Chains A and B, each alone.
Chain A
């Protein structure tokens, strides 16, 4: 009930290409879906987040697409750059109050962008 499933486990993209990472959740109470980026030796950093009242959110080269009926959401990285090489995690929680700190994470996707 609490799982968030993420795919693929790893992804290799050429510079300038589009990186796509997918997540699916089970708990219909979840209503806040952030994506985190983690570099080696660092903690996760928030990249972009979406609430289910919209189907898409774009910030620069990063876009979240959200499908509430399918309980799926995905991260698209346009014009991927070598500096984007990192581990990406989707997460989910119930929005509000202290709940933003109680995140259920996916298993992570290791993205490698070749120059």
Chain B
């Protein structure tokens, strides 16, 4: 088990609503990356936060936004939910600037939009 925890594990939202997903990074890690994994697909990079600043973004619209807190935990917010937003959302923590390359993934949050 990694030290990355995500909450909640599952949730169901209605189209048009807003959702906040949370991620606690592994101890000592200062970087959190968020991914969207649609059913049967590989994870797709949404964005990354490094020392509380957004540090790179994938091909996702602005209604996907995030935050990183001083303790390096992070939130992913999605506004105006669409049916296609239904997916497993993964966060990965890593040590930016460190010599250890590995990004550790949490177990994910399964979001269903109805």
Interface residue B73 (Cβ < 8 Å from any Cβ of A): no
* Residue contact B33 to A105, C-beta cutoff 8 Å: no
Interface residue B24 (Cβ < 8 Å from any Cβ of A): no
* Residue contact B92 to A105, C-beta cutoff 8 Å: no
Interface residue A32 (Cβ < 8 Å from any Cβ of B): yes
| A window 76-108: CB within 8 A of B | 89, 91, 95, 97-98, 100-108
What range describes how many residues of A lie at the interface? 20 to 34
* Residue contact B56 to A105, C-beta cutoff 8 Å: no
* Residue contact A101 to B108, C-beta cutoff 8 Å: no
What range describes how many residues of B lie at the interface? 20 to 34
Contact of B41 among A41, A97, A108 (CB under 8 A): A108
Q: CA separation between A6 and B42, bound complex, in Å?
A: 10
A26 to chain B, nearest CB (A): 15
- A98 surroundings in chain B (CB, below 8 A): 31, 48, 50, 55-56, 94, 96-97
- A103 surroundings in chain B (CB, below 8 A): 33, 35, 43, 45, 92, 103
Interface residue B21 (Cβ < 8 Å from any Cβ of A): no
* Residue contact A44 to B43, C-beta cutoff 8 Å: yes
A-B contact count (CB 8 A): 74
- A105 surroundings in chain B (CB, below 8 A): 42-44
Contact of A101 among B40, B94, B106 (CB under 8 A): B94
Interface residue B77 (Cβ < 8 Å from any Cβ of A): no
| A window 24-59: CB within 8 A of B | 32, 34, 36, 41-46, 49
Contact of B101 among A36, A95, A106 (CB under 8 A): A95
Q: CA separation between A108 and B35, bound complex, in Å?
A: 15
Contact of A44 among B32, B56, B90 (CB under 8 A): B90
Q: Which residues of A contact B (CB under 8 A)?
A: 4, 6, 32, 34, 36, 41-46, 49, 89, 91, 95, 97-98, 100-108
Q: Which residues of B contact A (CB under 8 A)?
A: 2, 4, 31-33, 35, 40-45, 48, 50, 55-56, 90, 92-94, 96-97, 101-108
Smallest CB-CB A-B distances: 6 pairs: A43-B105, A105-B42, A101-B33, A98-B96, A101-B94, A100-B101
